Amino acid sequence: MENIEIDLESSDDTTWFSDDENVTIEHVNFEFDQSNKIRGISRKITIFNDHHCYQSIKNRHKRKYKYRVDLSFLNPRPLRERKVAWSWFFGSAGLTLIGMIMIYIGWFSGLVTPSTYYGISLVVVISAILISLLLFFHNTYDKIIFQSQYGRVKFIEMINKYPDKDSFRKFVARFMLQVKNEKAKKNFSQSKFLTRELRELRRLKNEGVISEEEYESGKTAIFKHSSFQVSG
């Protein structure tokens, strides 16, 4: 898997930049790039001013977007999810079935006499099977996700072990430490954290970063928390 830089600012389409509060970058703590031209994915995570994080994302055939989250409201323990390209798997399975039927009809059933054209058609089907399998493995990958602390809404998503295992693990460890440090610096009570996280969810929903369904799910989880009842 090759690491190819993609300039997010050079494409013809417009970057959708979501940060209504217009937080000024005073200093950058560290950054991490995940780009793959073949897969058509480009991600860049920038931690700045100690407790803010920008994530810039571009997927193939979709517009670019960039949004900000406050590290203080993240759960420092990430989740691991596996994105499985089931469409390519089922496509290869269907083509395999077609290929087996063609082989049976052409060489075992005696219903047709194999010809050059029939053989070429079978080769095409087998080639399509191999391509589908390659795309299945290529587009199946692990994701590391950082959620909000109490609402469990997905905020930051990364491709696991990319561009390589060592650099990714070092970045994630540093990212987790940054989240923990900023939580400690805030030193909010649990009820205050709940109230502030709810505001962060509302901001991201209003900016179009998270969906209405995600916002409602996160809000419900916060409302159900016992400490929220005494939040100010």
Question: Do 127 and 170 reside in the same domain of the chain?
Answer: no
Mean pLDDT of the chain: 86
To which residue do tokens 């419900």 refer? 220
Per-residue model confidence as pLDDT tens digits over 137-158: 878 889 999 999 999 999 999 9
What local confidence, expressed as pLDDT, does residue 140 receive? 84
Range of the structural domain that residue 91 is part of? 86-138
Residue 1 has pLDDT above 60, yes or no: no
* Residue 160 belongs to domain with CATH number: 2.30.29
CA distance 157 to 144: 6
Question: Do 78 and 123 reside in the same domain of the chain?
Answer: no
Question: Do 159 and 186 reside in the same domain of the chain?
Answer: yes
CA distance 54 to 42: 14
Which pTM was predicted?
Answer: 0.75
Question: Do 129 and 212 reside in the same domain of the chain?
Answer: no
> Which regions of the chain does DSSP assign to beta strands (E)?
16-18, 28-36, 41-48, 52-59, 65-70, 79-83, 141-147, 154-159
Question: Do 47 and 124 reside in the same domain of the chain?
Answer: no
Per-residue model confidence as pLDDT tens digits over 36-92: 766 667 889 999 999 999 999 887 656 678 899 999 999 999 999 998 999 999 999
CA distance 83 to 6: 22
At 76, the amino acid letter reads: P
What local confidence, expressed as pLDDT, does residue 7 receive? 38
Question: Do 117 and 145 reside in the same domain of the chain?
Answer: no
Domain count, the chain: 2
Question: Do 119 and 223 reside in the same domain of the chain?
Answer: no
Q: How confident is the model at residue 216 (pLDDT cuts 50, 70, 90)?
A: very high
In a domain, 95, yes or no: yes
* Residue at which a domain ends, from 102, 118, 138: 138
Per-residue model confidence as pLDDT tens digits over 22-50: 888 999 999 999 987 666 678 899 999 99
Sign, Cα dihedral of 207, 213, 217, 223: positive
Per-residue model confidence as pLDDT tens digits over 99-147: 999 999 888 887 877 788 888 999 999 999 999 999 898 788 899 999 9
Question: Do 34 and 68 reside in the same domain of the chain?
Answer: yes
In a domain, 76, yes or no: yes
Tell me, what DSSP letter sits at residue 38? T
In a domain, 7, yes or no: no
Question: Do 70 and 98 reside in the same domain of the chain?
Answer: no
